[in-house]
Chain A
Amino acid sequence: AQTVTQSQPEMSVQEAETVTLSCTYDTSENNYYLFWYKQPPSRQMILVIRQEAYKQQNATENRFSVNFQKAAKSFSLKISDSQLGDTAMYFCAFLLYGGSQGNLIFGKGTKLSVKP
């Protein structure tokens, strides 16, 4: 069975600075997707960034980038130029490619606070 671990329950960062959120996962499969979701106080789950396991190149979406280390089963999220609106819970998630269950496996989340 797959597991996702986020070892940082809470983090804080000053506005405009850079912060990295950690995520590790465990799987014996080779083809999968990894995601970072953001959940602000509004409760809406918002997809931040995604990574296909077969791609060696790290995904980037504007101020958000990942460091994907497949051998180490690590998938960290870097937020550059942090903004107050980045304050939220961040969840790392795993999805098997073509899995019959078709459901996401979430980590426990990291609460990020961006301070002015």
Chain B
Amino acid sequence: SAVISQKPSRDICQRGTSLTIQCQVDSQVTMMFWYRQQPGQSLTLIATANQGSEATYESGFVIDKFPISRPNLTFSTLTVSNMSPEDSSIYLCSVEGMGRDGYTFGSGTRLTVV
């Protein structure tokens, strides 16, 4: 299965600023996924990022708040814009395996907004 390098692993940011999270995959993948995990909660899909097209956002998430780039088949970034304390969460990227292999996840970014 793919190996994902995600960074930063954690950050503490001031409200009103933006943070860009990067995910690098060791193989080419068609789709990459970005999840948010709020404290004590499960994972919620933010968006699906396809190379060469606009990301597809889930209900409740908008491009202005969470812009995503997908410049090639091994890399993606998620930006959390104009942050507020409510954005404090763990953000994870993932890629799809071969069906029964499930998904591979990055190690997550723990974001704290103060």
Which A residues are within 8 Å of any B CB, using their own CB? Answer: 33, 35, 37, 42-45, 47, 50, 52, 91, 93, 95, 97, 101-104, 106-109
Contacts and interface: CB of A to CB of B under 8 A. Distances in A.
Contacts of B92: 43, 45
A108 B42 contact: yes
A102 B41 CA distance: 21
Given A44-B107, A109-B42, A33 B99 contact: yes
27 contacts: A33-B102, A37-B102, A43-B90, A43-B92, A43-B107, A43-B108, A43-B110, A44-B108, A45-B92, A45-B94, A45-B103, A47-B101, A47-B102, A47-B103, A50-B102, A91-B42, A93-B102, A101-B48, A102-B48, A102-B96, A104-B94, A104-B102, A104-B103, A106-B43, A107-B42, A109-B41, A109-B42
B66 interface: no
Contacts of A102: 31, 48, 96
Give the 9 A-B residue pairs with the shortest CB-CB distance, closest first: A45-B105, A43-B108, A106-B42, A108-B42, A47-B102, A35-B102, A106-B43, A44-B107, A103-B45
Interface in B84-106: 90, 92, 94, 96, 99-105
B33 interface: yes
Interface in B1-49: 31, 33, 41-43, 45, 48
The size bracket of the interface on B is 20 to 34
Interface of B: 31, 33, 41-43, 45, 48, 90, 92, 94, 96, 99-105, 107-108, 110
